[in-house]
Every structure is written in structure tokens, then in C-alpha cells.
Structure 1
Amino acid sequence: MLNSLRSLLMPDQIRLIRSYLILLAVSGLSEAGTTLLLIPVTQSLMTHAYGRLESWMIVLTIAVVMTCLLRYWQTMRGLGLSVTVLRTVQSRLGQHMVRLPLGWFTREVSGQVSRCATYGAMGLASALSHLLPALLSDIAVPLLTSGAMMLLDWRLGIVALGGAIGVLAANSRISKSIIRGEAPSHEATVTLNNRVIEFARCQATLRAFCHESAAYKPLTQALEAKNKAGQSLLATTFPKVLISGLSVQLVFALLVGVGLYLTLSGGLGVPRLMAFLVLATRFSGGLAMLGARMGVLGMIRREIERIAAIMNEPTLPEASHRKNLTAPGAISFRSVDFGFHYGDAILHDVTFDVPQGSVTGLIGPSGAGKSTLLKLMMRFYDPAKGQILINGVDLRELPADQLMDQIALVSQDVFLFAGSIEENIRIGNPDASEETWRHAARLARVDALVAQRRHGWATQVGEGGCQLSGGERQRVALARALLKDAPILLLDEASSALDALNVAAFQDVVRQLRGKTTIVMITHQLETVMHADYLLTIEAGRIVERGTPADCLTSRGYFDRFCHERRQALGWRLTG
């Protein structure tokens, strides 16, 4: 388990865990040693040696007090260490995830991450503060007790030691079996988490296309699979835990039987028998819980390994030193090839330049690779071949924070954080003055939206911006991007949800930023396209047209067809 923890914790925290484990071992040995003091106490009592009994009771009392103080110290250290480890694991997990390539998030990882960040991290914290102390005590007490029984009678000691080793070996096998059986239950839980998240996010679609009385099949199937996996785990685990408990009772019965036989045959005195029975009771008590605790520890170890697997996911290589950028806003692609999967290329030999302060439109059919180009500019992925230069520097040579300082994004799928409209705008630049952020809001026409709300700028947008319409979310997102005042502004269908009046305002923003900010926009609106300085037409992952809108019209290619279709659409009339 420590090997997996090395990838999750800091070196000084690993050292703290090692010292804590030593403290646990000392505490367990102290508890076991205190138990052994019951031998002379019991013998003194049975032989009426009250003088020795008084001395041994004083020693026992001191030992109990010291053990309690040691256990209190160990418990407090364990609680403090578990809180530190919990915070560290969750913090490092979050820090690592923001450095993973976006492609990693295209898989169904929400349920896995949610389980690791909650159940897995909490399990690790609980293991340090509660499970490991009890487990070490359960191991130390039976082993030391077996050694003490050897002093009473070597035959009893051999039976006890053999029984302890046999139960430990059986519990180890049972623990491994439980861990193997837990894997299907884990997978079913992760799938169920994903389906629950999906069910909560897609209520509008579900209500529009599903009958009110009909259940959401994927969620129902995930629930049934989880129930079956849980029942299967219980069916396979319960008999093994029961066998573990019965084996402990069998060893205890064997010890008592051997002790009584030796006493009746004259080989063991009654005082020693009584001392032996006290030890046998404590011996079996420690073994009884060992099997269950080893199984739980094994499952927690698997959760730690799952967290470590996420932490071992390769991140995009990142430069360590900031660069001197000489051409703010300039973008260049040099023979770029890219595909999400090996051998499945989306972009082919893409080469173009976006001049500083220009407005460049990206057009092309769906699936041509337009959004992929923007994601490559933000280094959500690295190209398979070629170079992407921002401000004259290869993206791979820029630290992530310096690259993000250069770019602002407004996407088609706008995400707003739960909070007020003002708070969502100020994310673009938390240190901006009130005059500055209000100016950005006016440019994006958010002030008109706020004027219609009773709570004004304090209006809550809801989770993901659910309290606002699509067009309202886009206006807030545009204001957020404008407030960032980055040299490059990427617009991915940023006006798709806007009405005609707000589209006109959006075009006005583009005109005001021309010459100051480099704008790269994906749009299917003819009026917006015609305001671009340059156009890049993409088909099947290749640049097929480039130049001014007028130049692209003369090529009689995709852009000419695009304009022709849009003009025809403008002439549509509803008749009745």
C-alpha cells in the first residue's frame, strides 16, 4: 500500500506515515504486553499469594495507564494524519486532472473520479485513523499471547501458535478472494454513478422524448447490475467470513480442550489453567475480527491503487520557464496532423497564419475539424506532427499558465459556475475594477439582461447557468472573455444562441476589437463571416480555401456554396 501512496503523497507525509506505523506497532505491543500481565495476576489470585498480587496489580495499573496514554497519543496523531492525507489526496487529484489532456475526459470518467475522490480518499483516511490500529492490535495480541502460552506449557503454546498462523493464512486467502470479488461491484458502482449524473443532466431531453411513466432504461439497468453485483459479492463473502469466524472458535475450543486434558491428566495446575483461559479468551477475541478487517483493508488498498492509476495517467509535457513573447496575438500552424486515436487522422497537413490583431473565420461542414483546431490552439491536445506557434513560440515550450494568459474562449456549450452574474463575469479578471468589468458587460449586452432581473448583478445563474437561457449564457460568457483582455479571443459558435439584435451587438464587439485582439471564430452566420478579415475553409481535415471573403467567393468552392445557401434562406417566406 505504501508503494501506491508514494504517487499520492509528499515525501514528508510518507515519512510521517512510517513513523505513525512504528507508533502503531509500539501501541499494539504495549496492549499485548498489558494483556500478558494477567498471567501473574491470575496465578497470584488463585494461589492466594496476596502480597505478590498487590505488586502485580500496581504494575498492571501502571501498564494500563501507559497503554491508554499511548493509545490516546496514537489516536490523535492518526486523526490529524488522516485529515492531512485526505486533503492532500483530493488536492493532488484535482491538480493532476487539470493537467491531463482533454481526450482523457472523453471517456466515462465522472463516476470513477467521483468514487476515488470520495469513497477512496475517505477509505484511506479511515484506514489510517481506525482500521490499521485495530488490525495491528489484532495481530500483535494473538502472536504475543501464543508466546506467553508457551511459557505456561509448551504444548499449549504450539497449539495456540499453530492456530494463530493457520487463521492468519486462511484470512489472507479469504481477503484476496474478497478483493477479487469486489472488482465487479466496483465497476457496477462506477457505471451507476455515470448513469445518475447523466440522468440528472439530461432531464430536458428525457422529459421531451420519454413517456412520463417510462423509466430511464440505462439507469434502471445500472441499478439492477449494481444490485446483482452487490448480492454476488455478499453471497461469496459471507460464507468466507463465516468460515473465518468458525475457524477462530474451533481454535479456541481446541485450546480449551487441550488445557482441560492437561489439567485432568495432572500436567497443568489449576492456577495455570485459569491464567491460560484468560489468555485464550483474549487470544480468540483478537483473531475473531482479523478476517473482516483484512478484507476491508484489501478493498481500501484497491481504492488507493485506483487513485494512483489516475495520478499515473500521463499529462501533457509542460515547459518550466516562461518565454519572452515578441508577437502577441500571432498564430501559426506548420504542417499539423492530428487524430484522437492512432491511425485515425482528423487534420491533415494543416498550414496557415493568423496575423496579429486580425479577425479570421473558420468555416466548413460539421466534423471537418474546426473545433479541433481551436482545441489545439489551447493545447488541449498535442499534434501528432508539425508545430503550432503562439506569439512565435511553439505551444510545447510555453508553461500552461502563460499560454492560458494569451487566450480567452467563448464556446458554443457555455458553462457558468453556480453564483451570481457578476461573479461569473469577474472570473475573467478577479482583480478588475468595477468600471472595467461593467464596461465588458455593456459590450456583451449583459447590462440589458441584468436590467430585467429583480436582483440585478446579484442574480443567481444556477448550476451550470441553468437559470439563464442559452443566449443569456453566451452573453455572460462573452463578457467574461472580454474582461480577461487576452491577446487572442477564440469564438466557437459564440453567437449561435443569440437573437438578431444581439448578433448585431456581437458583430459590433468584433469590429471594436479588430486591430487590438486577434479573433479566430467558428460561425455559420453569413453576416458574421463577412466581417472577417480572412477566411479558412476546412473540409475533411484540410484547408481548401484561404483568403479574404471576396477572394474565397471567386474560388467557386465551399464558401461560394455557403453564401448561396444562406442568401436563399434569407428569401424564405411562410405562407398559409
Structure 2
Amino acid sequence: MIGMLLRVLGHQYARPVRRTLALMTTTAVAEGLSYALLVPVLRALLGSTPEDAWPWLIAFGAAVAVYAVLRYVSDLSGFRVGTTLLRGMYHRLGDHLARLPLGWYGTDRVGEVSVLAGRGLLQAMSVIAHLLAPFVSACVTPLTIVVVMFAFDARMGLAALAAVPVVAGLWRWTGRSMAAADAERAERDREATGRVIEYLQAQPVLRAGGRTAERFGLLDDALHGLQRASRRTVLSALPGVVGLTLTVQAMFTVLLILGAYLALGGAIGTAEVLAILVLAARCADPLLSLSDIGGRLRGARAELARLDALLRTEPLPQAREPIQPAGHDVELASVTFRHGGRTVLDDVSLSVPAGQRLAVVGPSGAGKSTLLQLLARFHDVEAGAVRVGGVDVRAISTEALMAQIAIVFQDVYLFDGTIEENVRLGRPDADEAQVRAVAAAARLDEVIERLPGGWATNVGEGGALLSGGERQRVSIARALLKNAPVVLLDEVTSALDPVNEAAVHEGIERLMAGRTVVMVAHRMRTVQHADRVVFVDGGRIVEEGTHDELLRRGGRYADFWSVSPASAAGE
């Protein structure tokens, strides 16, 4: 557990963790040793001169005071180290996530990381602040007390020592027997959470189908599965909890019988027997707490394992000596890319000279969006090369590559802030005149004028307070402000109403002016104005040429064009 924690944290945090662990161990030993003074205290109190107990009582009080100070210092150290590690882990996790390939992020990944970065990270880092001290105390303090017992009577100490391997074995056996149940419960928990979200999102469909009064079978099954998994988790923990309780009680009973036998035989004094029984009773609480601590440690360990797996995910390699691209042309040279065991692009070659426009057309699932993602280096290709300005994107630093490219996606994500803050993401140092100019070019100024808050209007998380067309205009203004020489467009008007489509189309035209453009489109309005069109199907380029050339050939592109709205409108 500690080894995994240090591996996840990194070497720079190993020293404070070890120092805190040593301090907690010292505190636990001091607690156990302080109880040794109970023997002379009880011996004096039960003897003929009880007043002789005062010096021992004072010594006992001093020992308890020393223990209290050590406990305060160790707990404070645990909290400080825990908060420092939490802050450091957030930075380390954020830095690592920023270096992972953008293609690594999917819907399931985003949900997984959001849970891990929130509750998971807090649970994992709580080991130092909340779990380590009780765990060390539950293990070290009873062992110290057993050593104290040996100092006063080896037979009583040996009897207490016999319980140690039994307790340790029960604790490990319980952990192993619950591992599968814990994993199943966590999986059922995630499944049930997903079904609850699905049920909420499916309300329009369920209500439209008149099924509002019916139970949602998938959700019911998931919740029943979670209930059964939770029951199995409790049942798998029960033998260990009962076994640990019986072992502790049996140890105390054996010590009581042995102490009575030795006292009756005159081999040991009554005060010593009473003190050893008090020490044995003091061992019970920390030993019994091992069951609860063990469950919490297993939960923290599971989160640590997920963190460890995430931090072990290899980021895209960065060039040791990055090359700055000199031009703005883009090229795919014999590119092959596989994802999820499927070949998405197969030996694809194309080039777009600087300042020209390439339109990528084809059916859904043909690999069009993947082509754009490879140009932006969301993934690395398995064969061939992707070049920008004549330089392989793997030889360009991430910062330099992103400075060359502006991307406008179909699904726009806006940060929870004002419209102006979201536009300024394109270039934070832009002056007010530049921001206002790109807003006018993207026809975002029309949106701002009708909003009560104007530029200061909050867009909500993900831009939820704006319509799809309004979000798209913000995205175009952001790309215009960035002023990158290469523009990648991914079906930016496919889900817009006619009014917003016309406005966005006008903004796109201004964004594309004078830039190298690769656009993916289902709607054909802008395709016919591209310098070249490629038709992609099954991960291959099956047709290539200008719009007019491809129409004259009467092939796949012509069929695609014939059923498009642009063709029906006579454009």
C-alpha cells in the first residue's frame, strides 16, 4: 500500500511521507510504553502503602502528556502532508492529462477521469491524513503492549503473542476474500449510475411512448445487481469481523485464566495480573478497529490503483529537438491508423498546398473526422507520416503545432464563464478592438446585442445557456482571434437551423479566407467552393478532384451530391 502510494505520488514526496510514517510509529510506541507504568501504579495502590503510588502516577501523567504531544504533532504532520500531497497530485494529474493524446479522451474516459479527479483522488489521498495514523496505531500499539507484558511476565506475554499471527492472518484473509466482492460492487455501482443517467436522459422518449408509469427494466436490473453485490460484500466481510472479535475475546479470556492460575499459585502478584489484563483490554479497541480501517484502506487502494494506471498511460512522445514548420501546407503520406482493433484509415495520401481548401466527403464512419484528428495530432499514425509545413507533426512541439492550427468542431464546448472570456481563449493577449472585430466577422455581435448581459453574459457549463448556433459563432470568433494559418472544420453546420447556418457559413467563409483549410462536411453548401474534394469510404480515398470534375464522372461523389440539400436547391 505504502509502496503504491509513493509510486503514485512520485519520488519528491517520498521523504515527507516516510518522515510522517516514522513519527506516527514513534507515537504508537510511546502510547504502548506509557501503559507499562500502570503496573507499578497498581502495585502501589493495592499494596500496604498506597501513597507510594504518587511518583508513579506523576510519571504516568508525564508519559501520557508526552504521548499527547507526539499524537498532536503526528496528526498535524499527517494533515499537512496530506493536503500538500493532494495539491501536488492535482498538479501532477493535470500535467499528465495535458500531455495525453487528445484521442485518448472519449465519453467514457471523461466520466472516469472526472470521478477519479474528484472523489477518487480525495479518497486516495485520505490515506495520509485520516487512515495512516489509526492503522499504524492499531498495529504498533498492541505489539508494544505485548512487549511490555513480556517485561513483567514472559508467560503472559507469550500467551498474548500467540494471538498476533491469528489476527494478522484473519485481517489478510478478510482483505483477500473481499477483494472480488469490492470490485464487483464498484462495477455494479458504476453501471447503476450510468443507468440512472440514461433513465433521466430517456425521459422524452419514454414519455413520448406513453411509458411514464412503467418501470425502466434496465435501471431496475442495475439497481438489483447493486443490491446483490452490496449484500455479498457485507456477507464476505462478516466471517472476518466475527473471527477477529472472537480472537480478541479468546485472547483476553486466556490471559484472564492464565493470570488467575499464576496468581493463585503465587507465581505473580495480583497487581501485575490486574495491570496486564488492563493492557490486554487496551489492545482490544485498536485490534477491533482493523476491520473498519481495512475496508477503507481497500477502497483507497482501489482508487490508488486507478490513479497509478492513469499515470502510467504513455503520453504522446515529444521531440527532443523540435522543428518549427516553415510553411502552412498539410500532407498525409501513406497514412494507416487503427483504433479499437479496426483499421480506420488505410494507406491514405493527400496534400493541401498553403492557402487552398480541401473538402473531405463520405458516409458516416468512413474516417473523415479521424483524418482531421491526425492532422491535429490527437493520435499518432501507425504507418506513414502527417506533415504540416513539410515537417512531420511528431517532430513539432505541441505548442508550436497548436499555434499553427485552429479547429472548429461540430460539438462546441464552452467554459463556464462569460462570452468574452471564451472568445479570448483564442488569444488571451488580444486587445478589445481585435475581440470586437472577430465577433463582428463571426456575426457574434448579433447574439451579444440581444443578450441582457452583453459580453458579460455567462454561457454556463459547456455553453448550456446558449443555443447550438450561438455556441458555434463563439467558436468561430475564437478561431478567428487565434489567426492560425491552418484551419480544420468538422461538420460545423450539420445540426443548425437555416438562420444560424447562414450566419455560421458567413463566419466560416471569413475564417477560411487566405488560410489552408481541411473541412469535413455532410452538407454540400461549402464543398463546391473547395479547391479539391476527396471522397472517403472504408478508410480509403475512392475519388479525388474538383467539385465539377467529380460530378462529371458520375461516381460516388455525384451520387452523394444528388441527394444533398444543396443539389435540391439548385446551388
Same fold at TM > 0.5:
yes
The corresponding residue for 2:568 is: 569
The corresponding residue for 2:380 is: 382
Q: Is the 8 A contact 1:415 1:464 kept in 2?
A: yes
- Please state how far the C-alpha of 1:32 moved relative to its aligned partner: 1.0
Q: Does 1:125 align with 2:128?
A: no
Q: Is the 8 A contact 2:407 2:489 kept in 1?
A: yes
Cα separation, 2, equivalents of 1:395 and 1:370: 19
Q: What letter matches 1:120 in structure 2?
A: G
Task: Say which is worse superposed, 80-89 or 504-513, in terms of deviation.
Answer: 504-513
Q: Does 1:341 align with 2:347?
A: no
Cα separation, 2, equivalents of 1:382 and 1:352: 17
Cα separation, 2, equivalents of 1:209 and 1:393: 55
**Cα distance change of structure 1 residues 174 and 393 upon mapping to structure 2, 3 Å threshold:** same
Q: What letter matches 2:183 in structure 1?
A: A
**Cα distance change of structure 1 residues 189 and 86 upon mapping to structure 2, 3 Å threshold:** farther
Cα separation, 2, equivalents of 1:385 and 1:47: 89
**Cα distance change of structure 1 residues 49 and 389 upon mapping to structure 2, 3 Å threshold:** farther
Q: Does 1:523 align with 2:512?
A: no
Q: What letter matches 1:341 in structure 2?
A: G
**Cα distance change of structure 1 residues 201 and 400 upon mapping to structure 2, 3 Å threshold:** farther
The corresponding residue for 2:175 is: 175
Q: What letter matches 1:335 in structure 2?
A: S
Cα separation, 2, equivalents of 1:221 and 1:32: 51
Q: What letter matches 1:417 in structure 2?
A: F
Cα separation, 2, equivalents of 1:412 and 1:469: 13
The corresponding residue for 2:366 is: 368
Task: Say which is worse superposed, 524-533 or 251-260, in terms of deviation.
Answer: 524-533
> Which of 354, 379, 388 matches 1:356?
354
Cα separation, 2, equivalents of 1:571 and 1:354: 28
Equivalent residues, number: 570
Q: Does 1:393 align with 2:391?
A: yes
Secondary structure in structure 1 of the residue aligned to 2:8:
coil
Secondary structure in structure 1 of the residue aligned to 2:384:
strand
Q: Is the 8 A contact 2:469 2:504 kept in 1?
A: no
The corresponding residue for 1:495 is: 493
The corresponding residue for 2:446 is: 448
Q: Is the 8 A contact 1:131 1:297 kept in 2?
A: yes
Q: Is the 8 A contact 1:108 1:194 kept in 2?
A: no
| Aligned counterparts, 1:153-168, within 5 A | 153-168=153-168
> Which of 479, 494, 499 matches 1:481?
479
Task: Say which is worse superposed, 560-569 or 267-276, in terms of deviation.
Answer: 560-569
**Cα distance change of structure 1 residues 211 and 306 upon mapping to structure 2, 3 Å threshold:** same
The corresponding residue for 1:546 is: 544
User: What TM-score do the two structures reach when normalised by structure 1?
Assistant: 0.92
**Cα distance change of structure 1 residues 183 and 127 upon mapping to structure 2, 3 Å threshold:** same
Q: Is the 8 A contact 1:179 1:299 kept in 2?
A: no
The corresponding residue for 2:93 is: 93
| Aligned counterparts, 1:18-57, within 5 A | 18-50=18-50, 52-57=52-57
Give CA deviations for 1:172-195 in whole Å, capped at 9, x if unaligned: 222222233211111112223333
The corresponding residue for 2:151 is: 151
Q: Does 1:423 align with 2:421?
A: yes
| Aligned counterparts, 1:190-229, within 5 A | 190-199=190-199, 208=208, 211-229=211-229
Q: What letter matches 2:121 in structure 1?
A: A
Give CA deviations for 1:153-203 in whole Å, capped at 9, x if unaligned: 222111111123322222222222223321111111222333345455666
Task: Say which is worse superposed, 194-203 or 492-501, in terms of deviation.
Answer: 194-203
Task: Say which is worse superposed, 440-449 or 6-15, in terms of deviation.
Answer: 6-15
- The RMSD of aligned alpha carbons is 2.5
Give CA deviations for 1:323-370 in whole Å, capped at 9, x if unaligned: 22211x21011001112134x212121111111122221112222211
Task: Say which is worse superposed, 301-310 or 283-292, in terms of deviation.
Answer: 283-292
Cα separation, 2, equivalents of 1:322 and 1:36: 67
Cα separation, 2, equivalents of 1:202 and 1:488: 40
Q: Is the 8 A contact 1:360 1:521 kept in 2?
A: yes
The corresponding residue for 2:330 is: 331
Secondary structure in structure 2 of the residue aligned to 1:41:
helix
Cα separation, 1, equivalents of 2:264 and 2:286: 28
Cα separation, 1, equivalents of 2:48 and 2:486: 93
Cα separation, 1, equivalents of 2:512 and 2:132: 64
Secondary structure in structure 2 of the residue aligned to 1:267:
coil
Q: Is the 8 A contact 1:174 1:295 kept in 2?
A: no
Cα separation, 2, equivalents of 1:487 and 1:418: 28
**Cα distance change of structure 1 residues 205 and 494 upon mapping to structure 2, 3 Å threshold:** farther
Give CA deviations for 1:459-514 in whole Å, capped at 9, x if unaligned: 33233222222222212221122122112111111122344454444444454445
User: Which stretches in structure 2 are left out of the alignment for 5+ residues?
Assistant: none
Q: Is the 8 A contact 1:192 1:222 kept in 2?
A: yes
Cα separation, 2, equivalents of 1:205 and 1:400: 43
Cα separation, 2, equivalents of 1:218 and 1:318: 45
User: Which stretches in structure 1 are left out of the alignment for 5+ residues?
Assistant: none
| Aligned counterparts, 1:184-263, within 5 A | 184-199=184-199, 208=208, 211-263=211-263
User: What TM-score do the two structures reach when normalised by structure 2?
Assistant: 0.93
Q: Is the 8 A contact 2:443 2:507 kept in 1?
A: no
Secondary structure in structure 2 of the residue aligned to 1:489:
strand
Cα separation, 2, equivalents of 1:157 and 1:509: 84
The corresponding residue for 1:406 is: 404
**Cα distance change of structure 1 residues 214 and 458 upon mapping to structure 2, 3 Å threshold:** farther
Q: Is the 8 A contact 1:103 1:340 kept in 2?
A: no
Q: What letter matches 2:292 in structure 1?
A: A
Q: What letter matches 2:417 in structure 1?
A: G
Give CA deviations for 1:403-423 in whole Å, capped at 9, x if unaligned: 222211111122222233222
**Cα distance change of structure 1 residues 84 and 36 upon mapping to structure 2, 3 Å threshold:** same
Q: Is the 8 A contact 2:199 2:219 kept in 1?
A: yes
The corresponding residue for 1:286 is: 286
Cα separation, 2, equivalents of 1:568 and 1:114: 44
Q: Is the 8 A contact 1:358 1:515 kept in 2?
A: no
Cα separation, 1, equivalents of 2:33 and 2:409: 67
Q: What letter matches 2:92 in structure 1?
A: R
Task: Say which is worse superposed, 535-544 or 216-225, in terms of deviation.
Answer: 216-225
**Cα distance change of structure 1 residues 3 and 266 upon mapping to structure 2, 3 Å threshold:** closer
**Cα distance change of structure 1 residues 565 and 113 upon mapping to structure 2, 3 Å threshold:** closer
- Please state how far the C-alpha of 1:216 moved relative to its aligned partner: 4.3
Cα separation, 2, equivalents of 1:412 and 1:514: 16
Cα separation, 2, equivalents of 1:326 and 1:458: 39
Q: What letter matches 2:423 in structure 1?
A: I
Work out the percentage of aligned pairs sharing the same amino acid: 37
Cα separation, 1, equivalents of 2:107 and 2:497: 34
- Please state how far the C-alpha of 1:383 moved relative to its aligned partner: 1.3
**Cα distance change of structure 1 residues 499 and 123 upon mapping to structure 2, 3 Å threshold:** closer
Cα separation, 2, equivalents of 1:48 and 1:429: 88
Cα separation, 2, equivalents of 1:422 and 1:195: 37
Q: What letter matches 1:363 in structure 2?
A: V
| Aligned counterparts, 1:99-114, within 5 A | 99-106=99-106, 108-114=108-114
Task: Say which is worse superposed, 210-219 or 556-565, in terms of deviation.
Answer: 210-219
Task: Say which is worse superposed, 8-17 or 104-113, in terms of deviation.
Answer: 104-113
Cα separation, 1, equivalents of 2:70 and 2:496: 68
Secondary structure in structure 1 of the residue aligned to 2:517:
strand
